[in-house]
């Protein structure tokens, strides 16, 4: 599937911002199941510096420095990305989860050593006893890792309530666990916390969903903004995607932008400002199949997410 993607973020400030340093993770990953044939970043006002770098996990990040005074900051990322379908192992045939956890402990080598970096707590995903307790109901002894991980995803989808008003970026994971509600980011952090509590590596994925569902399919939750889901490590296979918000295993309808330990590593746009006063953010995301690629060529309206800080 080939998508044309447009991700627009507009910050409006009460007072002029003199200077802003920004770090953007807006370039979809080129590799794994994806190839990026076009990418363009449009920024207003024009940054004094735009530099591009690939980080240790293969993400492409942009560093932007705006040195001219402005009351509005607009950044548009446009890309064309081809996504290939995901293939899954036969779940019950994957390795028993306790063995996977054990292989990480004494002295992992090679790819396992590198994957093992995702088994440790991270700033947004601290080690929590609740997480382990929750996870063990799916990770019963001697169960295969993929089977248990899928079960965990089902349970989170069933037992956690999707509620955009309930949480913010600052809501601690412990609260997400005790109240069992939140958005894609909370669901993902919760699931990552569960996996890591058992010593299993898990990554946070930042990305997009196809905006309009194909005929006969339901619209996915989170399609109007950037989305988040999870990857777990399956030996002899690699990283496997799971989306606890939609209870699906991402394939062609998910576009990956960046992977990291948690939201903090791959925040689509973070920045530091001088001046500015109050601020309002508007984000809109549109992910449309390339014309002729699949269905209709009607004009697409993007939804806007308003956020008053």
Binding segment toward other proteins, per CB under 8 A, in 26-34, 38-46, 138-146, 223-231: 223-231
Q: Using CB atoms within 10 A of its CB, is residue 206 exposed (0-12), middle (13-18) or buried (19+)? A: buried
Q: Which of 268, 284, 287, 288 binds other proteins (CB under 8 A)?
A: 268
Rank residues 48 and 69 by Cβ distance to other proteins and give the closer one: 48
DSSP 110-156: HHHHHHGGGGS-BTTB---HHHHHHHHTTS-TT-BHHHHHHHHHHHH
Are 242 and 250 in contact by the 8 Å Cβ rule? The answer is yes
d(CA 127, CA 119): 10
Residues 104-123 as x/- pattern, contact with other proteins by CB under 8 A: -xxxxxx--xx-xx-xxx--
Rank residues 166 and 290 by Cβ distance to other proteins and give the closer one: 166
Q: Does 218 bind other proteins (CB under 8 A)?
A: no
Give how far Cα 30 sits from Cα of 172, 243, 252, 285, Å: 32, 20, 15, 19
Q: Does 182 bind other proteins (CB under 8 A)?
A: no
The C-alpha angle 309, 64, 60, rounded to 5 degrees, equals 100
Rank residues 15 and 159 by Cβ distance to other proteins and give the closer one: 15
d(CA 141, CA 128): 20
Q: Does 165 bind other proteins (CB under 8 A)?
A: no
Rank residues 13 and 134 by Cβ distance to other proteins and give the closer one: 13
Beta bridge partners of 20: 66, 273
Nearest to 60 by CA among 87, 94, 25: 25
Rank residues 87 and 107 by Cβ distance to other proteins and give the closer one: 107
Rank residues 28 and 147 by Cβ distance to other proteins and give the closer one: 28
Q: Does 267 bind other proteins (CB under 8 A)?
A: yes
Give the binding site for other proteins (CB under 8 A). Answer: 11, 18, 20-23, 48-49, 51, 53-56, 63, 65, 67, 105-110, 113-114, 116-117, 119-121, 127, 164, 169, 183-185, 222, 224-228, 261, 263-265, 267-276, 279, 281, 283, 305, 307, 309
């Amino acid at each position: 599937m080939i998508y044309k993607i447009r991700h627009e973020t507009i910050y409006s400030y009460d007072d002029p911002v003199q200077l802003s340093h920004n770090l953007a993770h807006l370039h979809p990953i080129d590799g794994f199941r994806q190839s990026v044939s076009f990418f363009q970043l449009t920024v207003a006002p024009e940054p004094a510096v735009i530099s591009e770098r690939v980080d240790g996990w293969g993400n492409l990040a942009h560093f932007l420095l705006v040195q001219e005074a402005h009351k509005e900051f607009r950044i548009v990322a446009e890309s064309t990305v081809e996504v290939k379908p995901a293939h899954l192992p036969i779940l019950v045939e994957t390795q028993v989860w306790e063995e996977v956890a054990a292989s990480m402990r004494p002295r992992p080598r090679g790819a396992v050593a590198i994957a093992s970096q995702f088994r440790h707590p991270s700033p947004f995903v601290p080690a929590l006893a609740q997480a382990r307790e929750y996870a063990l109901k799916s990770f019963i002894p001697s169960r295969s890792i993929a089977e248990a991980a899928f079960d965990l995803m089902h349970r989170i989808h069933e037992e956690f309530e999707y509620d955009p008003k309930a949480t913010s970026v600052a809501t601690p994971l412990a609260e997400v666990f005790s109240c069992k509600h939140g958005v894609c980011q909370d669901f993902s952090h919760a699931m990552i916390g569960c996996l890591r509590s058992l010593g299993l590596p898990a990554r946070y994925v930042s990305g997009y969903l196809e905006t309009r569902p194909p005929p006969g399919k339901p619209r996915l939750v989170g399609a109007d903004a950037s989305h988040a889901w999870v990857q777990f490590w399956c030996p002899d296979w690699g990283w496997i995607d799971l989306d606890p918000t939609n209870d699906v295993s991402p394939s062609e309808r998910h576009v990956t932008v960046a992977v990291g330990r948690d939201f903090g590593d791959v925040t689509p746009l973070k920045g530091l400002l001088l001046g500015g006063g109050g601020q309002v953010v508007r984000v809109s995301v549109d992910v449309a199949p390339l014309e002729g690629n699949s269905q209709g060529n009607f004009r697409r309206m993007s939804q806007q997410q308003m956020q008053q800080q």
